[in-house]
A and B are shown apart, each in its own frame.
Chain A
Amino acid sequence: MSDVVTEVIEWVKENCMKDKANMELTADTSFLAHNILDSLAFLKLVSHLEERYEISIDEDDMSPDNFESATTVAALVDQLKS
């Protein structure tokens, strides 16, 4: 599991899963299907990743596909870092 995937999972667990403590969150758990993050939480995640990895996420990249799971988010971050 990449560092970015781990970072995303830890952030989501800390900020979005207070009422889902018993739920297992894996790299491929769907954020949307399980209503883990709402739009504002996604926005906060974007801000966190931009600050953490010194990247800029364009609004055109803010698609459901890119934010489906920790794996897809990490893939977007890796793409922007390179």
Chain B
Amino acid sequence: MAKTRKDRLYRLGFIRKASTLVPYAVGAWVIGVFSRITWLNKFLFRGHYQRLRKLCIHLGMDAELRHAFSQYISCNFFASWRLYALSQYSDEVFSKWLTISGLEHMQSVLDSGRGVVLCNSHYGSGKAVLLALIRRGYDVHSFDRKNVFESMNVKGAEKLHSIHLGTSEEKSFFLKEVFQGRRALKNGGILHVAGDGYRGHSGDNETFLGRERRFPTSFAELAVSSGAKVVPVFGYLEPNGRMHMEFLPPLDIDDDLSNEDKVSTMVHKYKILLEAHWRKAPGEVHKNDLQIYFTLPVCGEGEDIAGKVVVGSKAQVS
């Protein structure tokens, strides 16, 4: 039964129909124009604008708020249509709209016989990385709440092996799913996870842009327990609708560390990467993550905030 508005849109075939009627180039152009109507979007997405504005001020990027907001609208409100529309194209057209760099970082790990924990984030056009990989013939296992490509009739969909986590309301015991993920890694495969999720109760506390945030350790623990390497990936969305997937070098850790320290080190390194991306392009941050960020406790006096040590009164952003 459809639970969210997006689910209902899928059930009605709205997104599928919209993608067949509207070519991606046209739709991307329209979205680009719409996203730049700042006064209208400030009215329609008031709460989102306020949160993004607070983040930009905190990052010292208030001068770039207008551009960031345009980027935010494009990233956050038409993602399903983009994926579906792009998925229908030939490889030649697809590759004009979605480019990849750094794939050799992942391929070299796979060639060595080790598994890859592909650590994605709720940022930019990150979801499109699955589309890009299955089109290139990669088999990918992915922890997902649901298989977003299931209703899309995506080319190469059989190469995506979703490990369904359901929603927080549906279940909280994932032993079988984690076992399946680890098995994929031990077999030298690719396991796609989000390194910045909020589910579960355990994790490492880190200072993230001035707030205390818990980062799940699961991606790192799965890598350590299976001998796999963690390869971070980030997706970027340009104003013209083009997407770029950047695969980064595997997180480098000292083999002499204890397993516990290996996990903590990887989580910390990932946190640094995520912070850098939030700072570089706050408009690419996903709306739910931005909302959650402002509910996190602010770090206290003397703690590192946005790369600077705070002396004196506690820095308040909220």
Contact = CB atoms under 8 A, between A and B. Distances in A.
Nearest to B182: A43
Contacts of A67: 173, 175
B173 A40 contact: no
Interface in B10-53: none
Interface string A52-76: 0000000100111001000000000
B3 interface: no
A59 B202 CA distance: 23
Given A39-B173, A67-B173, A59 B179 contact: yes
B178 A39 contact: yes
Interface residues of A, number: 16
Given A32-B172, A43-B175, A38 B200 contact: yes
A67 B175 CA distance: 9
Given A38-B200, A43-B178, A46-B179, A32 B218 contact: no
Secondary structure type dominating chain A contacts: helix
B131 to A, nearest CB: 27
A21 B222 CA distance: 26
Interface in B195-226: 200-202, 217-218, 221-222, 225
A35 B179 CA distance: 19
Contacts of A38: 200-202
B201 A43 contact: no
B179 A32 contact: no
B222 A40 contact: yes
B174 interface: yes
Chain B interface category by residue count: 10 to 19
Looking at A32, A47, A63, A64, which has the most chain B CB atoms within 10 Å of its CB? A64
B95 interface: no
B177 interface: yes
A63 B175 CA distance: 8
B172 A46 contact: no
B201 A39 contact: no
Looking at A42, A47, A67, which has the most chain B CB atoms within 10 Å of its CB? A42
A39 B191 CA distance: 16
Nearest to B165: A39
Nearest to A42: B175
B262 to A, nearest CB: 14
Interface string B162-204: 0000000000111111111010000000000000000011100
Given A46-B179, A62-B179, A39 B200 contact: yes
A46 B173 contact: no
A4 to B, nearest CB: 18
A59 B176 CA distance: 6
A46 B201 contact: no
Interface string A6-41: 000000000000000000000000001001001111
Interface of B: 172-180, 182, 200-202, 217-218, 221-222, 225
Interface of A: 32, 35, 38-44, 46-47, 59, 62-64, 67
14 contacts: A32-B173, A39-B175, A39-B178, A39-B218, A40-B178, A40-B217, A42-B175, A43-B175, A43-B179, A44-B225, A47-B225, A59-B180, A63-B173, A63-B176
State the 9 A-B residue pairs at the shortest beta-carbon distance, nearest first. A39-B174, A62-B176, A42-B175, A62-B175, A64-B173, A39-B178, A38-B202, A40-B221, A35-B201
